[in-house]
Amino acid sequence: MNRLGWNLREAAALRRRASLLLGWDRGQIWIAAMLLLLGIFMLLPLIYIFNHALKPYSELFIFPPNILVMDPTWANFTELFVVTRDSAIPASRYMFNSIAIAVIATLAVTIVSALCAYPLAKHKFPGANALFFVIIVSLMFVPETMQIPRYVVVSSLGITNTFWAHILPHVAAPVSVFLMKQFMDQVPNELIEAAKLDGAREAMIFLRIVMPVCMPAVATVAILQFQNIWGNTETSILFTTDDSMKTFPYFLQTLTQNLANSVARQGAAAAASLVMIVPTLLVFLVFQRKVIATMAHSGIK
């Protein structure tokens, strides 16, 4: 038996043991191994953000930068809180605004989009095609040029400097309606007909049949919208003038503006980028898990 033959046999044995250990089949192990390197490369920004926030000043400025921290410290977080102590409005207020807005607006978008997507997918009411067309075309318009008209709308509604100004502009999300409608298209009509024969009302069909089957779409919309609303500074810049009504990302932006060429507060900026990403990361993990878990159980198709 030559060397190669032995190696092959050993490798096969190893693979068998690995698949027994994890309960994966061979195809899955191959794919996982193939994607591992690529995955690590894609994951770099997150790894970097976590390490960057823990770097002391001596490591923050190395070029080209180190991904991993060598001498971790909490100093950047203390700096972030020291910087925020001097401002007239405590950082906790911005944090409260942001969390309240992101949670309420995400909930609102998800509910409103689902409500709208259901008739679009399942009732052929007069005007449905026109509405769907308008929704899709609206995705294509450059938002920058809408800023002034949007400001005029918000100010003539008289909601500047209120939570409404932060929440209402997000409620209509064409992307979310589009995504949910595409998923609801897949719910079999027979299922809905059967429920109707059993005497279910529309509200019942929507809540008990359509929504559970479309949980993956709901979770995906929640991830996307939370990410979008949490990081949004536009409503703070355009629709509020009162500092106590602004949001955390806006506040961080003022902290970290013009930092490209300065040394001061780079530590705070590094810590701030971690603070910004952690909530979106958590929301992603919770809801993406839901996408995967729902799939495993949904057999209605």
Q: Which of residues 69-108 bind other proteins (CB under 8 A)?
A: none
Q: Establish if 65 lies at the interface with other proteins (CB under 8 A).
A: yes
**Residue 259 contacts residue 265 (beta carbons within 8 Å):** yes
Q: Establish if 172 lies at the interface with other proteins (CB under 8 A).
A: yes
Which of 5, 143 has the CB closer to other proteins? 143
Q: Establish if 142 lies at the interface with other proteins (CB under 8 A).
A: yes
Options 174, 265, 266, 267; binder of other proteins; rule CB under 8 A? 174
Options 54, 91, 105, 116; binder of other proteins; rule CB under 8 A? 116
Closest listed residue to residue 254, CA positions, set 86, 107, 74, 116: 86
Options 115, 204, 207, 237; binder of other proteins; rule CB under 8 A? 115
Q: Establish if 54 lies at the interface with other proteins (CB under 8 A).
A: no
Greatest pairwise CA separation for the chain in angstroms: 86
**Residue 102 contacts residue 226 (beta carbons within 8 Å):** yes
Which of 78, 186 has the CB closer to other proteins? 186
206 secondary structure, DSSP code: I
Question: How far apart are alpha carbons 235 and 246 in whole angstroms?
Answer: 8
Which residues ranging from 259 to 288 are in contact with other proteins (CB under 8 A)?
260, 273, 277, 280-281, 284-285, 288
238 secondary structure, DSSP code: H
Which of 42, 82 has the CB closer to other proteins? 42
Options 134, 194, 207, 263; binder of other proteins; rule CB under 8 A? 134
Q: Establish if 32 lies at the interface with other proteins (CB under 8 A).
A: yes
Tell me the DSSP string of 241-276.
Answer: --GGG--HHHHHHHHHTT-TT--TTHHHHHHHHHHH
- The 205-244 site mask, x for binding other proteins (CB under 8 A), equals -x---------xx-xx--xx--x---x-------------
Which of 4, 260 has the CB closer to other proteins? 260
Question: How far apart are alpha carbons 180 and 222 in whole angstroms?
Answer: 11
Question: How far apart are alpha carbons 250 and 276 in whole angstroms?
Answer: 11
Q: Establish if 113 lies at the interface with other proteins (CB under 8 A).
A: yes
- The CA radius of gyration of the chain, in Å to the nearest whole number, is 25
